[in-house]
Amino acid sequence: MTTDASALPVDQRAVDALAASGLRYGLLDTSDRAAFEAWFAADARGFAESRISESVMASNVEHLAVNRTTGVWDDSIPNAEVPVATVNSWVTELTVPGPVVAPAWAVSSVTVAPTHRRRGVARAMMEAELRVAHSAGVPMAILTASEATLYSRYGYAPATSAASVEVDRRRVSWAAPVPSGRVHFVEAADLLPDAIAISARAVRRSPGEVARWTGFFPRYLALNKPGSDVARALRTVRYDDADGVAQGWAAYHIDEKGPETRVLMVDVREAATDDAARGLWRFLLEHDFVTSIHADLRSIDEPLKWLVDDARGVRWMHVSDHLWVRILDTAAALEARRYETPGALELVVDDPLGFANGRFLLDIAAGGRASVTALDDESEPTAPVLRLSVNDLGAIYLGGYRPSMLAAAGRIEADDAAIRLADRLFAAERTPHLSIWF
């Protein structure tokens, strides 16, 4: 399997398809600073963001040059150096049930200029990403979706959920056991090495989390915006356990919405242990001079209401899908994760794009390890059969959505015994969750 996405050749089918529309598709030479800055300008425009400051641009160029950076250009327009479409990708580590780590093709920065819609640009780019990832031997592709309907047509499906949570500071008091360690204020630059080390452990705890890239930390510690209002407002803390080992960190700021309304906005909270998670929550919940605490992208299983004396002071909002998964190699993906119980199940997967389709026998031994055998069309089933699309396989892969729920929706075809078995097999030891955008 190839892990350096940037070294892979351009997809010729996409080159030809877009050339027929008068467009130029290709890989960006990230050593060309001017071209790279033009690409980032298109990316920001595509997400309706402000023009990028010099310090943020310098950080982007420094930390994202190793990724596979792709664009579409229209040489007939003014400012032709700015691409009319962008996509960025790399091979990352995805935590899957076990918990264990599996390789995944991360897709990000998907934009198409509104001036170039309905010309097949998005389809050419998205299918090219899948072909390149598949040829490199990467078993699945992943993304976080700003559009809820776009990516299903390419075989992706939501695999994790996330929620925003708001806590009424005036209504709740701490009711859980006192954490064993201490919280310390640490300046962002000094926190950086500990944040990187803690994060590397924290993402291994929950299916759906992905390895953080180097540019993640300067962004969320506001180190890429020195002297800015954002950097001045940010506060950063570290949690050390009873032995003095750094096990958690958080970054937050206070949003003053009125003379008597001050909201503590949690920008990042990462914990390598449950004790650290509790310690950070206690610190945030007991912060002075705030009326509420707000955090986005929290797990739908976050035990927050069990930490306070009034669970109704914790309000969950905006529960939505977050990480989307697209299986590219059914056998490799199924063998990469672990399972909750021994058993055997036959999966008949329909993939219109042809990457993951076929009949597969999933045989799970004691201990949760699986072997997968491709079956021919004529052989008789030797195990309960599940018929499903590649989208539905992606949805159940991390354990975030039960096969029985999709069967009730008419999306999975199987008898009751097969569905009950599939529910047991695909369950995860921890609710899948991704706590960032990428």
**Would you list which residues are annotated within the binding site?**
110-112, 118-123, 146-147
| Terminal-residue alpha carbon distance, the chain | 23
Q: Which residues are annotated as a binding site for acetyl-CoA?
A: 110-112, 118-123, 146-147
Q: Select which of 220, 397, 426, 438 is catalytic.
A: 438
Record the tokens describing residue 320, joined without a space: 């939505």
Residues in contact with 275: Cβ distance below 8 Å, sequence separation at least 6, in sequence order: 179, 180, 181, 241, 247
Q: Are strands 140-144 and 100-112 parallel, antiparallel or unpaired?
A: parallel
Using CA atoms, how far residue 200 sits from 61, 68, 205, in Å, is 23, 23, 10
The set of residues, in sequence order, having a beta carbon less than 8 Å from that of 15 and lying 6+ positions away, is: 25, 26
151 catalytically annotated: yes
Question: Choosing from 36, 151, 156, 217, which is the catalytic residue?
Answer: 151
Classify residue 7 by its DSSP letter: G
Which whole-number Å values give the CA distances from 109 to 15, 25, 125, 156, 188, in the listed order?
A: 19, 15, 11, 16, 26
H or E segment and range at residue 239? strand 235-240
For residue 264, give both structure tokens: 């503590």
Are 351 and 157 in contact by the 8 Å Cβ rule? The answer is no
Inter-residue contact 374 to 358 (CB < 8 Å): yes
Who contacts 301 (Cβ-Cβ below 8 Å, separation ≥6)? 430, 431, 433
Pairing of strands 343-350, 385-389: parallel
The overall longest dimension of the chain from CA atoms, in Å, is 73
- Is 154 designated active site? no
Q: How would you classify the pairing of strands 314-321 and 292-298?
A: unpaired
Backbone phi, then psi, for 166, in 5-degree steps? Answer: -130, 130
- What whole-number distance in Å separates Cα of residue 365 and Cα of residue 416? 22
Active site residues: 151, 438
